[in-house]
Amino acid sequence: MEFSRRQFLAATGLGTAGLLAVTACGTSSSDGGSPRNGGTLRVGALGKASKIERDPHKTLSNDSDFLIASLVFDPLTVPAANPNVAPRLASSWKQLDDPRSWRFTIAQGAAFHDGAAVRPEDVVWSLRRLREIAGETKVPVASGDAITADGADGVIITTMAPNRDLPMLLRLMTFVVKAGTTDFTAAVGSGPFRLESYNDGNARLVRNETWHGGAPRVDAIEVRRFESNTALANAVMAGQIDLASNVGAVAGRTAAGRGDLSVVRRANDIVIPIVMRTADGPFADARVRNALRLAVDRDVMVKQITSGYGSAANDVLGTADPTYDTTLPKRGRDIVRAKALLAEAKFDTGRTYPLVTKDEAVGEVDSARLFATQAAEIGVKLDVVVQDANVFYDETWLKAPLYTANWGTNDSVIFFASKTMISTTKWNEAGTHDPDLDAAYLRALSATDDAGYSSASREIQRIEYDRGGYLVWGTADGVDVASRKVRDLPTLAGYGRVQLERTWLAG
């Protein structure tokens, strides 16, 4: 896989600006003439006041915070279509003779907003700080010492074992700041926009004329934070903003009938799985987990939760991965078999079990309530508990026996394995400690050819399907609603939606 990425970079001869134009843009501009520069793009995104975070190396739970950070700061790599990773601050990368080590080359001309050149030392300091704060989940190395400067324009990252997917695993996580920065009030980055003003999660960003990827098309982007999806949808319908980012299917269906609005649907975008703890507790028996999987009516979930803007899934995360195993039997609803599995496992159906959720992703709470109704038909009584997001992440996430999660990146099986399933990850959502899965993950990363990689990926998926800790009932399309004057919006699933540097406004 990495060979094809290197081959792609070499064969195209594209610099960073050209690659960004190829990979980040989506909707056609054919109905509005040639792209033009100028204007202010008003973008609305969801964000809770209680979760505002300005440090790009900490968890950015708010869509609004992540949007601001991704436009102000450069990560090494960003999402793309095929291959699924593209350059950003790193103009290229290569795996060295030691297959554990990668060299990332800093883009020529990359500079911070104060004019200082981006040095390897800045990248090393940023990645070491990110590793210290977030652990291996975001930078998969044993310690900060595994990240070193190499000459005037390079950084070498050495993982604990061969890792052919390292450039992909670093996408939109490795935001680079000036070495020594711990106060982010000024937000001095090297990205396509620089911060002009900030107030309570709302920001005005202005074009970075000297950005190494080529100056953005709009003069400015104003990011407005909305506490609720309803408020976000109402704002774009009323013309108060130009773009409602990730606003959901209900707003999309309403906007589809309006001549002044356009709808962007990003397939295989959002996944709201039910997490079942495998390590201990009432759902530790794989038979119980499979009974819950057989209880769900996936078509009904997709119809009601996504308003049909989605598709049924098969209990495997990473449905947009090219190695996704379509030969796994499609799991349908089977009440009789589910009850039999519960009986075999001697599951206590006399108790009521909490299913904890939060009002974070669009439809997340409703999905929990609908599933609880369906689970009751196999004799499993669930009490849906809605928590404040801060309380959820402090008390429930990674700990509770049964809860909902949500992810906005769904194009890689290995991504999910690395972030949420292998025994060593900090974000082990289901408490998974499966030696076979760990071994298959390591085989995938050390594979020397695509066939070996695909085989290992399929083994991971089979383990997820047979005994994993996730009930993945479906995926929801990402839905953006925009004014008709907004052109070339990203169509990539997941966080590719924040790459707005090539978006422009028609006259």
Q: Tell me the CATH number at 12.
A: 3.90.76.10
Query: What is the DSSP pairing of strand 154-158 with strand 101-106?
Result: antiparallel
SS3 213: coil
pLDDT at 244 over 90: yes
DSSP 50: G
Give yes or no: residues 465 and 499 share one domain. no
In a domain? residue 140 = yes
Looking at the structure, do residues 435 and 501 belong to the same domain, yes or no?
no
Residue 224 is assigned to a structural domain of this protein: no
Distance (Å) of CA 430 to CA 360, 386, 463, 473: 19, 19, 14, 16
Do 423 and 442 sit in the same domain of this protein?
yes
pLDDT in tens, 261-305: 999 998 888 899 999 999 999 999 999 999 999 999 999 999 999
Give the range of the structural domain holding residue 432, as residue numbers without chain letter: 270-476
Indicate whether 338 belongs to any domain.
yes
- Is 418 found in the same domain as 499? no
- Summarised one tens digit per residue, pLDDT across range 195-221 is 999 999 999 999 999 999 999 999 999
Indicate whether 443 pLDDT > 80. yes
In terms of domains, do 6 and 101 share one?
yes
Indicate whether 203 belongs to any domain. Answer: no
Taking CA atoms, 174 is separated from 56, 141, 352, in Å, by 9, 13, 42
- Kindly state whether residues 491 and 414 are assigned to the same domain: no
Q: Is residue 49 part of a domain?
A: yes
Is residue 425 domain-shared with residue 495, that is, in the same domain? no
**Is residue 308 situated within a structural domain?**
yes
Position 7 pLDDT exceeds 60: no
Q: Residue 83's pLDDT band (boundaries 50, 70, 90)?
A: confident
Q: Give the least confident one: 5-19, 188-202, 263-277, 454-468.
A: 5-19
Q: What is the pLDDT of residue 202?
A: 98
Q: Is residue 138 part of a domain?
A: yes
Tell me how far the alpha carbon of residue 461 is from its chain's centroid: 19
161 and 130 housed in the same domain: yes
Mean pLDDT score across all residues of the chain: 91
Phi and psi at 270, nearest 5°, equal -100, 135
| pLDDT computed for residue 494 by the predictor | 77
Could you report the per-residue pLDDT of 139-154, keeping only the tens digit for each? 999 999 999 999 999 9
Residues 313 and 417 in one domain: yes
Residue 283 lies in a domain: yes
Angle at which helices 364-375 and 286-295 pack, to 10 degrees? Answer: 100
* Segment 42-55 mean pLDDT: 95
Helix, strand, coil: what percent of the chain each, to 5?
Answer: 35, 20, 45
Nearby residues of 280 by Cβ (< 8 Å), 6 or more positions away: 431
Q: In this predicted model, what pLDDT tens digit does every residue of 409-431 receive, in sequence order?
A: 778 899 999 999 999 998 999 99
| CATH classification of the domain holding 362 | 3.10.105.10
For a pLDDT cut of 70, what percent of the chain falls above it?
A: 94
In this structure, are 417 and 489 located in the same domain?
no
Tell me, yes or no, whether 370 and 288 share the same domain: yes
Q: What is the pLDDT of residues 370-387, one digit of tens each?
A: 999 999 999 999 999 999
Spatial separation of the C-alpha atoms in residues 128 and 142, rounded to whole Å: 11
The number of folded domains in the chain is 2
pLDDT over 60 at 56, yes or no: yes
Please determine, for residue 360, whether its predicted confidence score (pLDDT) is greater than 90.
no
